[in-house]
Amino acid sequence: MNATGTNDTATILVVEDEEIIRTSLCEFLSDEGYEVAMAESVQAARTLVHTEPFLQMGFDVAICDVQLPDGDGIELLGELIQQHPNTVGLVITAYATVDNAVKAFGVGASDYLVKPVIFDDLAHKLKRLFQYRELNSDNRALRRELKRQEGSVQIIGSSEPLSRLLQTIHKVADTHSNVLLVGETGTGKELFARAIHRAGPRSDCRFLAVHCGTRPTQLLESQLFGSGSAEPESGVFRQAGQGTIYLDEIAELPLSTQARLVRAIEYHEILPVGGSDPQTTQARIIAATSRNLAREVDGGSFQEDLFYRLDGVKLQIPPLRERLEDVPELVQFFVQKHSEAMGKRVIGADQETLRLLMSSEWRGNVRQLDNAIERAVMLCDDETIAPSDLPPELLGLGQPLPDADDLRSALRHYERLHIARVLRQCPDKREAAKRLRLGLSSLYRKIEELNIES
């Protein structure tokens, strides 16, 4: 147990150009049980925070001297807090002036230390700040739970792939890092982007979505960055403020627009179309694509700089065929949604329909299922959907589950389908065994027992 009141070691960054002060602070904080990193300048600190493991999660505490040899320590502290809003900021100053205090608190600092630093005072301040942060974190968790109960963003399902993804989303959401969502068309990437925004520290700010491939380049850039012409208009980067911009199908961005986006990410600065005065931006970017961006980079249609700036926090959205256990819950959700919208009394789907839906390939993923249930509710003359209510193209897809209530038979049938699908995608049996989390000998035994064709 450390000073934070948790079992995780808190990380502290000390930025101080005077070697004696820097090393003595680090020794004291290390003895207190913290993990400490140190830098002697603004540039050294910037380099350090862009290395793993600090790139994604940042530091718990940043302690910066006001006057550094190559820049302003208060401005550096502001950058660190902007990148990771959970970072607690402290400034060290030789002269505790009102101007310095106002400036420090203006960038998000929580307190300040006066040279010479009194270690007992520092320990007391850190303990109090961690207690305050823990309380603030509890309050944010409560707000997130209330928003979840309000149903503002509903992600349906309880399968293992979806549960793992949601756990990662909650970790990522607490930061202000840019995120890349990768998944097939129809998997609900925008829904997951909204979930990240709603669970984050700036959920009260705006969430603005832009599709990157539906407009001429100049119109798209005006929508993103604004116009600096005779009648200036603000783009979504300005309109979003400290909120989130969702860029759907980012691989479709023209190369010229990609270059503008790199600058917005790297320097938090945009230049309106036709304008000459740059504007600052603090918006978070969540980009989404159904393509392989690394392959797009190799083909010359996607900028390598932009790829690496987005690829740091990448979340893979599983296709519906990899989370078939969620189909019954999704069906019930869509039935309720569409029956209420149409004013009909449809309460669910019969067992034969569910078996058919759970054995389909779902190349259009959740969106295809949503459309199929909407049509079925529209055509249904009873309280439950029957196979005849489903779209004709859906009938006959996949292999129907066994017409039996025996759970063991159903699971065995699903196991056969699942292993066969992985083997089709990955002919190398060693790699397939890894994906299935089986030993190679166990996989061969399953292939034989379940009569799976190679």
Provide the pLDDT confidence category of residue 105 given band limits of 50, 70 and 90. confident
Q: Tell me what pLDDT residue 158 has.
A: 83
Provide the pLDDT confidence category of residue 273 given band limits of 50, 70 and 90. confident
CATH number at residue 361: 1.10.8.60
DSSP 62: E
* Domain annotation covers residue 107: yes
Judge whether 85 and 106 are in contact, CB under 8 Å. no
Residue with the two structure tokens 């990437």? 189
Q: Could you give the dihedral angle defined by the CA atoms of residues 265, 266, 267 and 271, in that order, rounded to the nearest 10 degrees?
A: -50
Q: Tell me what pLDDT residue 146 has.
A: 45
CATH number at residue 26: 3.40.50.2300
Same structural domain, 284 and 173: yes
* Domain annotation covers residue 70: yes
Same structural domain, 70 and 218: no
Count of domains for the chain: 4
Same structural domain, 121 and 35: yes
Task: Identify the domain boundary among 389, 416, 440.
Answer: 389
* Range in 203-212, 343-352, 426-435 with the lowest mean pLDDT: 426-435
Give the three-class secondary structure for 343: coil
Phi, psi values for residue 15, rounded to 5°: -115, 105
Cα separation of 101 and 109, whole Å?
9
Tokens read off for 21: 């002060």
Q: Which domain, by its residues, includes 443? A: 407-449
Cα separation of 243 and 309, whole Å?
19
Same structural domain, 411 and 349: no
Read off the pLDDT of each residue in 376-399 and give the average, rounded to a whole number.
81
Same structural domain, 311 and 333: no
Q: Tell me what pLDDT residue 152 has.
A: 55
Q: Tell me what pLDDT residue 178 has.
A: 92
Task: Identify the domain boundary among 363, 389, 415.
Answer: 389
* Domain annotation covers residue 411: yes
Read off the pLDDT of each residue in 150-157 and give the average, rounded to a whole number.
69
* Domain annotation covers residue 382: yes
Cα separation of 15 and 290, whole Å?
41
Q: Tell me what pLDDT residue 303 has.
A: 94
Provide the pLDDT confidence category of residue 135 given band limits of 50, 70 and 90. low
CA 186 to chain centre: 18
Query: Which ranges of 205-350 would DSSP assign to H, the alpha helix?
Result: 217-225, 236-239, 255-267, 293-298, 304-310, 327-342
* Domain annotation covers residue 150: no
Same structural domain, 193 and 304: yes
Same structural domain, 186 and 300: yes
Read off the pLDDT of each residue in 148-161 and give the average, rounded to a whole number.
70
CATH number at residue 173: 3.40.50.300
> pLDDT at residue 406 above 80?
no
Query: Within 10 A of 270 (CB to CB), how many other CB atoms are there?
Result: 23
Task: Identify the domain boundary among 389, 421, 438.
Answer: 389
**Consecutive H or E run containing 37:** strand 35-39
Same structural domain, 228 and 352: no
* Domain annotation covers residue 329: yes
Q: Which of 411, 369, 367 is nearest to 390 (CA)?
A: 369
Strands 284-289 and 67-68: unpaired
The answer to whether the pTM exceeds 0.75 is no
Q: State the DSSP string of 264-300.
A: HHHHSEE--BT--S-EE---EEEEEESS-HHHHHHTT
- pLDDT 10s digits, 192-247: 999 999 888 888 899 999 999 867 888 889 889 988 765 557 889 989 999 999 99
Same structural domain, 240 and 130: no
Query: Within 10 A of 173 (CB to CB), how many other CB atoms are there?
Result: 21
Same structural domain, 108 and 203: no
Q: Which of 22, 46, 29 is nearest to 115 (CA)?
A: 22
Judge whether 188 and 317 are in contact, CB under 8 Å. yes
Give the three-class secondary structure for 312: coil
Same structural domain, 184 and 277: yes
* Domain annotation covers residue 2: no
* Domain annotation covers residue 153: no
Q: Could you give the dihedral angle defined by the CA atoms of residues 156, 158, 161 and 166, in that order, rounded to the nearest 10 degrees?
A: 70
- The answer for residues whose C-beta is within 8 angstroms of residue 392's C-beta and 6 or more apart is none
Q: Tell me what pLDDT residue 237 has.
A: 92
Ramachandran sector of residue 157 (left: φ over 0; alpha: ψ -120 to 50; beta: rest): left
Same structural domain, 246 and 102: no
